[in-house]
Amino acid sequence: ATKTSSYDEHFRPEKLREWPEPESVSLMEVLAREDIDEAVRAILFRENSIVKRLDTYFQHVDTFKERRKEMLHKKWVENVAEPLQQRIMEKVTVPPFVDPLFQRQQEVDEEKRTGLQCETGKRHSIKELKEIEKARLHASSPYFTFTSHCVIPKEWHKASARARSKTYKYSPEKLICADKKQKRKEKKTADLSQAAFERQFLSSKLSQK
């Protein structure tokens, strides 16, 4: 009964006159939709800005974590890894062997290269220097010709015979005797020079008196 009375009261003719016109109702609906859309856009904009800020924050946190890892790794390398590696290398590394003969040969080759550069005006490598020395040695060495039967010329026989005769001509005993004779001659010459000096000295004294 109460519901029916309120319904009747709402739809009374006097109340119906107070109701808005349909045009005003549609206008109110349009305005309400615009307000709702504006509110939704504001909410979405705020949500997007919050999301962007959160992304920036998380990126900053990730960058900070990576940087922190890099700093910790750098400190570990400087304080632990490098000193440990240095100690290991000191224990396992063998100093290079220095050969004095090889070093001296290198110095001689360098001197020869410098001299050759002064002669030719060109800087030669060690290989070129060896080839030039080999060519010069080959050019300065005597040229020997051999026949198909390896026949030695008569001049070589004569030269070798003379060398052998000179070698066997003097025995060790003869060489010792010759040495003794030479010493006697030197002693006799020294005695004669000493006697001549004494005579000259005496004659000078007599002349002074």
Tens-digit pLDDT string for the chain (209 aa):
455 566 566 666 666 666 667 777 777 788 888 889 899 999 999 999 998 998 889 888 889 999 999 999 999 999 999 999 988 888 887 766 667 787 888 888 888 888 888 888 888 788 887 888 888 787 776 555 554 444 455 555 555 555 555 444 445 555 455 566 666 666 666 666 666 666 666 666 666 65
Q: CA-CA distances (angstroms) from residue 32 to 28, 37, 41, 148, 209?
A: 6, 9, 14, 129, 165
* pLDDT score recorded for residue 168: 44
Looking at residue 128, its pLDDT comes to 84
- Would you say 129 and 112 are in contact if contact means Cβ atoms under 8 Å apart? yes
Give the list of residues 6+ apart from residue 112 with CB closer than 8 angstroms, or none: 129, 133
Contact by Cβ (8 Å): 114, 130? no
What single DSSP character describes residue 81? I
What's the pLDDT at 83?
Answer: 92
* Contact (CB, 8 A) for 113 and 123: yes
pTM: 0.28
Question: Hey, where are the domains in the chain?
Answer: 2-90
CA–CA separation, 123 and 137 (whole Å): 21
What are the tokens at 14? 């006097």
Give the pLDDT score at 79.
Answer: 92
Q: What pLDDT is recorded for position 149?
A: 46
